[in-house]
């Protein structure tokens, strides 16, 4: 059986339970080292390293899969010691975040990893040019136990959008302007859920978005970066999972995953977002068809389980299951 030591990015309010379940569903022997919670408890980086090496020595994993992200809580030296403790181990580090520039702690740690995994193809060369070693593309997934269709036939919202407005990302202004436009058009039939907008909105925890999306004629997904090939956040997948038609802002190479007008609707302007909302309202059968197609695509290709299988195939580890 494949032994996997998984280092999830948990915090005091969030546990990556869905990924735990996915690893177990695939059939590995899983052990968790909750590195970030160790740090939050001890405020001591050495405690993290010592706990990590102890877990490696005792468990003897074939794969160490990490979401160290940009925390800087492990070092290349620690990873080299892990290789000595568990000979032949494969070490991967993944980030689901997209930023204008590569984080230097992620780049530095790559010297101790077999693969550094990022959630777009559009930034591979950016990371390589920054000195990151063995950069590969591995996309985010979603949890079908939390996000799924409820098959409602009446709707509280014509369109809903759940995202914060931070103000410092490339698409921040686009999110703000789109929210303002949709609020003017639809008032309380526009469900806006997030912080820092100039129009009425409220924050909800992410699991509550499933009910919101199911209660919407259609849903909206706008990433912070819309010019990076293959980049999208799990927002898009969670929207699709509700089984309602998704309006997704255009991004490069979306069509390697989704078919416009069949799995979702692609918009290239705010006016086009409005036109698609009206189309879905006036063509409910077609809207439902597109929503169901998107759900089926997400369930088949984009759950955490399917992504883990992709990773193991990339690493030539499927034969160990």
pLDDT digit string, tens, across residues 154-195: 999 999 999 999 999 999 999 999 999 999 999 999 999 999
Tell me: pLDDT of 144 over 90: yes
Q: Which long-range contacts (CB under 8 A, 24 or more apart) does 202-209 make?
A: 203/164, 204/162, 206/162, 206/238, 207/146, 209/147, 209/162, 209/238
Residues 239, 221: Cα–Cα separation, whole Å: 7
Q: Answer whether residue 62 is part of any domain.
A: yes
**Count of Cβ atoms closer than 10 Å to residue 188 Cβ:** 10
Tell me what pLDDT residue 11 has. 85
Tell me: pLDDT of 12 over 80: no
91 with 34, same domain?
yes
Which residues fall within 8 angstroms of residue 153, CB to CB, at 6 or more apart? none
Q: What mean pLDDT is reported for the chain?
A: 96
132 with 9, same domain?
yes
Please write the tens of the pLDDT for every residue from 292-306: 999 999 999 999 999
Range of the domain at 273: 157-301
Q: Answer whether residue 150 is part of any domain.
A: no
Tell me what pLDDT residue 247 has. 98
The total number of structural domains that make up the chain: 2
Quote the percentage of the chain above a pLDDT of 70: 100
Residue range 209-232: average pLDDT?
Answer: 97
134 with 177, same domain?
no
Residues 59, 52: Cα–Cα separation, whole Å: 11
**Chain centroid offset of residue 227 CA:** 17
- CATH number of the domain within which 79 lies: 3.40.50.2000
Q: Which of 268, 273, 270, 206 is nearest to 246 (CA)?
A: 273
C-beta of residue 116 within 8 angstroms of C-beta of residue 127: yes
Please write the tens of the pLDDT for every residue from 263-286: 999 999 999 999 999 999 999 999
Q: Answer whether residue 170 is part of any domain.
A: yes
12 with 134, same domain?
yes
117 with 217, same domain?
no
Q: Which of 69-78, 188-197, 208-217, 294-303 has the lowest mean pLDDT?
A: 69-78
35 with 112, same domain?
yes
Rounded to 10°, the helix 172-186/270-282 angle is 40
211 with 265, same domain?
yes
């Amino acid at each position: 059986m494949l032994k996997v030591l998984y280092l999830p990015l948990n915090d005091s309010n969030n546990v990556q339970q869905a990924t735990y379940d996915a690893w177990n569903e695939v059939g590995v022997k899983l052990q968790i080292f909750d590195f970030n919670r160790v740090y939050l408890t001890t405020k001591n980086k050495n405690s993290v390293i010592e706990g990590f090496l102890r877990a490696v020595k005792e468990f003897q994993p074939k794969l160490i899969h990490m979401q160290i992200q940009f925390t800087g809580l492990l070092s290349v030296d620690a990873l080299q010691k892990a290789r000595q403790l568990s000979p032949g181990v494969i070490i991967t580090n993944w980030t689901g975040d997209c930023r204008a520039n590569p984080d230097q702690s992620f780049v530095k740690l790559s010297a101790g990893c077999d693969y550094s995994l990022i959630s777009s193809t559009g930034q591979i060369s950016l990371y390589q040019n920054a000195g990151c070693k063995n950069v590969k593309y591995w996309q985010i997934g979603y949890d079908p136990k939390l996000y799924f269709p409820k098959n409602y036939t009446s709707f509280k919202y014509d369109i809903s959008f759940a995202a914060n407005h931070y103000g410092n990302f490339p698409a921040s202004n686009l999110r703000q302007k789109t929210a303002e436009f949709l609020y003017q058009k639809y008032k309380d039939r526009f469900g806006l859920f997030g912080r820092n907008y100039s129009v009425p909105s409220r924050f909800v925890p992410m699991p509550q978005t499933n009910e919101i999306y199911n209660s919407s004629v259609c849903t909206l997904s706008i990433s912070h970066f819309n010019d990076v090939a293959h980049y999208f956040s799990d927002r898009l997948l969670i929207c699709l999972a509700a089984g309602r038609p998704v309006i997704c802002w255009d991004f490069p190479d979306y069509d390697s995953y989704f078919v416009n007008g069949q799995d979702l609707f692609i918009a290239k302007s705010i006016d086009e977002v409005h036109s698609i909302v009206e189309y879905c309202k006036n063509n409910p059968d077609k809207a439902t068809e597109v929503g169901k197609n998107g759900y089926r695509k997400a369930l088949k290709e984009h759950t955490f389980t399917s992504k883990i299988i992709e990773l193991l195939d990339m690493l030539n580890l499927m034969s160990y299951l």
